[in-house]
Amino acid sequence: MTNPNGRFGIHGGQYIPETLMNAVIELEQAYDHYKNDPEFNRELGELFNEYAGRPSRLYFAQKMTNDLGGAKIYLKREDLNHTGAHKINNVLGQALLAKKMGKTRLIAETGAGQHGVATATAAALMGMECVVFMGEEDTIRQALNVYRMRLLGAEVIPVKSGTATLKDAVSEAMREWTSRISDTHYCLGSVMGPHPFPTIVRDFQAVISREIKEQMLQKEGRLPDAVIACVGGGSNAIGSFYHFIGDEEVRLIGCEAAGRGVDTFETAATIATGKLGIFHGMKSYFCQDEYGQIAPVYSISAGLDYPGVGPEHAHLHDIGRAEYVPITDEEAVCAFEYLAKTEGIIPAIESAHAVAHAIKLAPTMDRDKIIVITISGRGDKDCAAIARYRGEDIYE
Amino acid sequence: MSNIRKAFTNGKAFIAFITCGDPDLETTAAVVRSAVENGADLIELGIPFSDPTAEGPVIQGANLRALSGGVTSDKVFSLVRELRRDVSVPMVFMTYSNVVFSYGAERFISTCHEIGIDGLILPDLPFEEKDEFQPVCKQYDVDLISLIAPTSENRIAMIAKEAEGFIYVVSSLGVTGMRSEIKTDLASIIKVIRENTDTPCAIGFGISTPEQAKKMADLSDGAIVGSAIIKLLEKHGKNASEYVGAYVKSMKDAIR
């Protein structure tokens, strides 16, 4: 899907300061070398299986299926990975790559904190220094994850600039990278930013769809009819879609955070409300005003609270291969509660956006159809915030 | 010949960066005039952007103040039209790719030409992506300024060969902002640039004192100062123009 200049159709590219160009070129060359290196892949496979707990389960959600009365529903349980989310897949890959490149320090941005925790974890495991940039707003929403990162030995820097959320954390991590390159790898957490990040992150997350395909063939002897995942930058979604892109009969559905609704300003649904732009190193769709100023976005989910979307998703949208639907805070919270009560699984509020769409879609499909929902992370981190959303006075 | 070259015909060039609309456009106009009267050879007008990823805290603050004051690209164009009635030194815009892209590259760049903007500096547009705007810039005779960084190494020759107007040499790693010391081996970088082009080069990032400016101008064709000027605007607000004027004079005198 990638051409040599890191383009996905018209999207992607490398819109970054000259100071970083040799760093991304070096990264691309290292990745091109190691991605086909048997020893690298053996080490990564071992980390995935022995450390992160892969393969993750593909669980048949019988009660949810019966309750909704339509398509069979399977849950891809990325929430069961070590550190509780899909983020670890990418981080183990990038940390191993950085180590091979001789880097001793990882920096990262984080929204909900899951990517920061995963990066801090990999840094601890591999004996690397770690600095995580997190919007000040998010350090309050996700205080427990801040503590986790510090416990793992990382330094967490609250970012006060701009809207003090994920986009500002990305900007600050980029600024930090321009000031210290030689020993530092920027462990970007999603399929975004300048080439080669969208490709590298996708490849490390593609383990999700590779496993879904194998597991589905084993359990059902056929491919699913739809794969549903939530989309902020879009790493768990692209990971869930990737090995199905060539299987035209499989619907690929990304769920964006609509916040209080796509007809309000308090939304983060980029494909529904954004337009083509250039930001954070890439050409893609962004929520922005008529003069190209990036819009302050909003979602109850810190992990989806980002004004852009990865360039490969923008391309899959352009060519009609994937569909993108907005899910409101209220719908996501209802799905969060529904999955907890129905299956005894508390999903991350991000993943609950995907669950919410499946709740709408499944009853419209025949009983012999199959939906896979990627549960990208676990919801423990969100319980206090959801309780507050429901009017309970609970703090972590 | 590019109009920008005129900036380098009066000894070493002093290039002043000012964020448009910080704290308001009237002040920007007064500050530009004061800088020019006191010896600035080229003015970089910053069009504010919500997320200026190449800027340190000082210029980030200026962007924020300007945007919260309601500045838009169209209002900046009007400011330039007004300035061009009496300001004849070369002027360039410094902004981010999305500001140009979202306005429509042709619409933005043709407007630059029409109002008398001589060049465009986009810190998030490296050599590999310059085709995004270069053909349109060429069509409308607006120089797309190239940046060269301490990490450019094997890329310097490639960038220098195609450079237009002037080359913006980034003095150090990191973002814009004042530094106590500049350690990069700039002489070696400038040497490679000189071997590949006769386009003038000026050094920016981290320069605030007359001593630093002198040192940088001795190495190159000029010095670019942003954050130190923005600091004066931050401190003196609407009354900043006389302070900026005195500062520019001290800097130009040091490098003359």
Give Cα A220 to chain centroid, integer Å. 27
Q: Under the phi-then-psi rule, with left for phi > 0, alpha for psi from -120 to 50, and beta for the rest, what region is A261?
A: left
Across the A:B interface, residue pairs with CB atoms under 8 Å apart total 120
Chain position carrying tokens 């980002």: A306
pLDDT value for A3:
57
Nearest to B126 among A18, A179, A294 (CB): A18
Note if the pTM is more than 0.95.
Answer: yes
pLDDT in tens, chain B (256 residues): 689 999 999 999 999 999 999 999 999 999 999 999 999 999 999 999 999 999 999 999 999 999 999 999 999 999 999 999 999 999 999 999 999 999 999 999 999 999 999 999 999 999 999 999 999 999 999 999 999 999 999 999 999 999 999 999 999 999 988 888 888 999 999 999 999 999 999 999 999 999 999 999 999 999 999 999 999 999 999 999 999 999 999 999 999 8
> Does B78 touch chain A if contact means CB atoms closer than 8 Å?
no
- Tell me which chain A residues have a C-beta less than 8 angstroms from the C-beta of B63: none
The Cβ of residue A352 has, within 10 Å, a number of other Cβ atoms equal to 34
Nearest to B149 by CA among B182, B94, B198, B186: B186
Interface test with A, best of B20, B128, B158 (most A CBs within 10 A): B128
pLDDT value for A129:
98
Q: Which two structure tokens, joined as six digits, stand for B228?
A: 């130190």
- Tell me which chain A residues have a C-beta less than 8 angstroms from the C-beta of B49: 292-293
pLDDT in tens, A267-310: 999 999 999 999 999 999 999 999 999 999 999 998 898 999 99
Q: Which two structure tokens, joined as six digits, stand for A61?
A: 């959600």
Give Cα B45 to chain centroid, integer Å. 7
- By CA distance, what is A295's nearest residue in B? B50
> Does A4 touch chain B if contact means CB atoms closer than 8 Å?
no
Question: Is the complex ipTM higher than 0.90?
Answer: yes
Question: Within chain A, where are the H helices?
Answer: 18-34, 38-46, 62-68, 87-100, 114-126, 136-141, 143-151, 166-179, 197-205, 207-220, 235-241, 270-273, 311-318, 329-343, 349-361, 383-389
Q: Do residues B49 and B63 touch, judged by C-beta distance below 8 A?
A: yes
Q: Write down the mean pLDDT value for chain A.
A: 96
pLDDT value for A163:
83
C-alpha distance from B175 to closest chain A C-alpha (Å): 6
Contact A162 B97 (CB under 8 A): no
pLDDT value for A1:
45
> Does A288 touch chain B if contact means CB atoms closer than 8 Å?
yes
Helix (H) or strand (E) holding B211: helix B210-219
In the CATH scheme, what is the code of domain A55-84+206-389? 3.40.50.1100
Q: Which two structure tokens, joined as six digits, stand for A307?
A: 């004004």
pLDDT value for B1:
63
Domains and CATH numbers, chain B: 3-255 (3.20.20.70)
CA torsion A177→A178→A183→A184, rounded to 10°? 10
Contact A178 B49 (CB under 8 A): no
- Tell me which chain B residues have a C-beta less than 8 angstroms from the C-beta of A13: 128-129
Please report, in angstroms and rounded to a whole number, the separation of the first and last CA atoms in chain A.
43
Q: Which two structure tokens, joined as six digits, stand for A135?
A: 């919007």
> Does A279 touch chain B if contact means CB atoms closer than 8 Å?
yes
- CATH architecture designation of domain A9-48+87-201: 3-Layer(aba) Sandwich (3.40)
From A78, A109, A172, A343, the catalytic residue: A109
CA torsion A281→A324→A5→B190, rounded to 10°? -10
**CATH 3.40.50.1100: which residues of chain A?**
9-48+87-201, 55-84+206-389
- By CA distance, what is B63's nearest residue in A? A162
> Does B59 touch chain A if contact means CB atoms closer than 8 Å?
no
Place A211 in a pLDDT band, splitting at 50, 70 and 90. Answer: very high
The Cβ of residue B88 has, within 10 Å, a number of other Cβ atoms equal to 11
Place A395 in a pLDDT band, splitting at 50, 70 and 90. Answer: confident
> Does A306 touch chain B if contact means CB atoms closer than 8 Å?
no
Q: b/e per residue, A22-52, with b = 16+ CB within 10 A?
A: bbbbebbebbeebbeeeebeebbeebbeebb
Residues of B numbered 94-153 whose beta carbons fall under 8 angstroms of chain A's beta carbons: which are they?
96-103, 123-129, 132, 147-153
Annotated catalytic, A87? yes
The Cβ of residue A249 has, within 10 Å, a number of other Cβ atoms equal to 9
Q: Do residues A57 and A77 touch, judged by C-beta distance below 8 A?
A: yes
Q: Which two structure tokens, joined as six digits, stand for A296?
A: 């302050």
Q: Which two structure tokens, joined as six digits, stand for A138?
A: 């998010």
From A56, A209, A351, A376, the catalytic residue: A376
Contact A14 B98 (CB under 8 A): no
pLDDT in tens, A55-82: 999 999 999 999 999 999 999 999 999 9
> Does A48 touch chain B if contact means CB atoms closer than 8 Å?
no
- Report the largest interatomic distance among the alpha carbons of chain A, rounded to a whole angstrom: 56
Contact B129 A15 (CB under 8 A): yes
C-alpha distance from A292 to closest chain B C-alpha (Å): 5
Burial class (CB in 10 A: 0-12, 13-18, 19+), A171: buried
Annotated catalytic, A109? yes
CA atoms within 13 A on the CB side of A170: 26
